[in-house]
Every structure is written in structure tokens, then in C-alpha cells.
Amino acid sequence: MRAVAQERERERNPERNRERYGPKAPGGDAAGGGCLAAPVRWVVLILVVPVRAVWDVLVAALKGLGKALMWLAERLVARPVVWLCRRVLAPLGRGVARVWRWLVVAPVAWVWRWLVVTPAAWLYANLMTPAGHGLRWLLHYLVVVPAIALHRHVLRPVGRGIAYAIDAAAAGLVWAWDRLVVAPLKLLWSYVLKPLGKGLLWVLRMLLTAVGWVLHMLLVPFLLFWRYVIAPVWPVAGRITRWFWNATARPLGRAVRSAWRTVRDAFAAARATARRTRMELRAALFGGPRNPAPGAARQPAGPAPADAAAPAVDLAKHGPEHR
């Protein structure tokens, strides 16, 4: 299509083509075209030129059809519509507007003007305005003026007196609070409580320091003695104590218990003999049975059963390593 357009441009403007491409040499078409010039021309003549001709015919037909459609639209649609608007709708609209204006708007305006606005204006000018002025005068001279006088000559002086009294009382209370409470408390805090607190704090700090130093001086040697002396010696001392208990203290305790039982039995027999003798003497002197009632005399306690062997005390279990 581009080649066809260029060809048509050359055909239409030969002078321009001559100026652009220069004058052709004689025999240039035959000698300068080459071996492809003739086939290209035949292809152009067979394919491009018919297509171009058909395209031009279609364009011309479409242009004519468009003009015909525009003419028909103008003659059959636009002109009738314009004529209808000018000759029918516009006069009809103007007539309806006039009828609406004379039959609706004008009567409503007349009624609104003469039956609403004019009576309202007359009522406002001749009744409401004088009544309003009278009410304003009454309100001014019966309410506003007495209220202003009351406020100016009664309420304001009373309020100022009350405010002055309140200010004076508040100032007195503030002065009394400052002089009777705050100042003594400041003096008490500055010259009594604060130095006393600092002194007590210093004394408490010194006491804590001294107690800490004493505890350090006492506990550290004790802990060292416990760790390096008692803790190693405690198991050996426990074994020695257990051996002494089993080998010496337990037999000695058994012997002491046996001797005590013998002595106790002897004392019991002596008490029974003394009691019997006393009863016989009483019977001889005062009369009565010489022999006491059976079971009356206290029988000496028999030998107590042998005590069970006391368990050996293992002192090694109570050593520091078992705590």
C-alpha cells in the first residue's frame, strides 16, 4: 500500500518528483531498473492497481452513501423536528405559560399579596409594633430598672462585703495556719526532728557497724574453729564417746542400779519391821489386835525386772556432717 501511495503521488505531481529525484537519464527505465523491475511492475499492475481501483470505488460509494444518508436525515428528521419545535411546541409552550401565569400564578400572587402580606403588614404596623413597644417599656421600667437598681445598690455592696469578709477570713486563716502550724512545724523539723533523726541514724549506723564488727570478730574465729577443728574431730570424738558408753558407762550404770535396788529393798524391810513393832507397842499399850490386817502392811517391792538394755547412743550421727 505504501508503494501504491508513492506511485500515485508521483503520478499526481510529476514536477515535484522531477525536482526530488532529478531528471531521468535517457534509457534509464530499461537499463537502470535491473532484473527485478519488470516483475515488480507486473505484480503492481496485476494486484495493486485492481485493489486500489476497488478501494477508490468503495471510498467514492461510501462518500456518496454518506451524503445521501445525511440528506435523508436532514430532509426526513431534522427539518420536521425543527418545524415541529418552531410551529407547534414553541407556541404551545408559550400558550401554556400564559395560561399558567394568568390562571395560577396571578391569582395566587393576588391572594398572597392582599390576603396574607397586606393584613400581616397592617397587623404588624398597627398592633404588634405598639404592643411590642409597650411590652418593652413595661419590661424596661418594671423589671430591668428595678433589677439594675437592686444589683447596683443592694447585691453589689452585699457581695463586696461578703467577698471582703471571706478574703479577710481566708487571709486570717492562712496567717494563723502559717504562724501557728507551719512555722512551728518547720522549726520543730529543722531544729529538733531533723538533727535528732540524723543523730539516731548515726547512732544506729554506729551500733550496726559495731555489732557487725563484733559478730565478724566472734563468728569468723568460731566458724574457722568449727570448720577446721570441731568438724574434723567430731567423728573421732563420737566414736570415743560411743566406746566409753558401751564399755564403761553402761556396765557402771547397771551396777549402780543393782546396788540401789538392794539398798531400797533393805530400807523397805526396815520400814516394814519398824511399822510392825510400832503397831505391836500400840496394841500392848492401848489394846487391840496385835497383827495388822492381811495386806495392810506394805510389802517390800520385789526385785524389779531387769531393765532392757539401753540403746547405745551414736554420737557420730549428731556430728556436724549429719546436720
Q: What is the DSSP string of 52-108?
A: HHHHHHHHHHHHHHHHHHHHHHIIIIIHHHHHHIIIIIHHHHHHHHHHHIIIIIHHH
> So what's the pLDDT on residue 296?
45
Q: What is the pLDDT of residue 288?
A: 57
Model confidence over 36-51: pLDDT tens digits?
Answer: 777 777 777 777 888 8
pLDDT at 303: 45
Checking if the pLDDT of 297 tops 70, the result is no
Share of the chain above pLDDT 70, in %: 78
Residue type present at position 251:
P
Q: What angle do CA 136, 139, 144 make, to 5 degrees?
A: 120
Report the first-to-last Cα separation within the chain, whole angstroms: 117
pLDDT in tens, 78-137: 888 888 888 888 888 888 988 998 888 888 999 898 888 889 999 888 888 888 888 989
- What stretches of 118-193 show up as alpha helix (H) in DSSP? 118-123, 129-139, 145-150, 156-176, 183-188
- Per the CB < 8 A criterion, the answer to whether 289 and 283 are in contact is yes
CA distance 323 to 321: 6
Give the model's confidence band at 206: pLDDT under 50 very low, under 70 low, under 90 confident, else very high.
very high
Q: How confident is the model at residue 235 (pLDDT cuts 50, 70, 90)?
A: confident
**Statement: residue 159 has pLDDT above 80:** yes
Q: What is the DSSP letter of 113?
A: I
In this predicted structure, the answer to whether residue 273 has a pLDDT above a threshold of 70 is: yes
pLDDT at 25 over 60: no
> Alpha-carbon distance 243 to 234, whole Å?
14
Return the pLDDT at 162: 93
CA distance 175 to 26: 134
Q: How confident is the prediction for the chain on average, in pLDDT?
A: 78
Q: Is the pLDDT of residue 294 over 80?
A: no
Long-range contacts of 41-46 (CB under 8 A, 24+ apart): 44/3, 44/4, 44/7
Helix axes 2-12, 14-21, angle to 10 degrees: 110
Amino acid letter, residue 241:
T
The grid coordinates listed for 231 are 568438724
Confidence of residue 3 (pLDDT cuts 50, 70, 90): low
Q: Please state, in angstroms and rounded to a whole number, the distance separating the CA atoms of residues 266 and 283.
A: 26
Residue 75 pLDDT class (50, 70, 90 cuts) = confident
Amino acid at residue number 148 = I
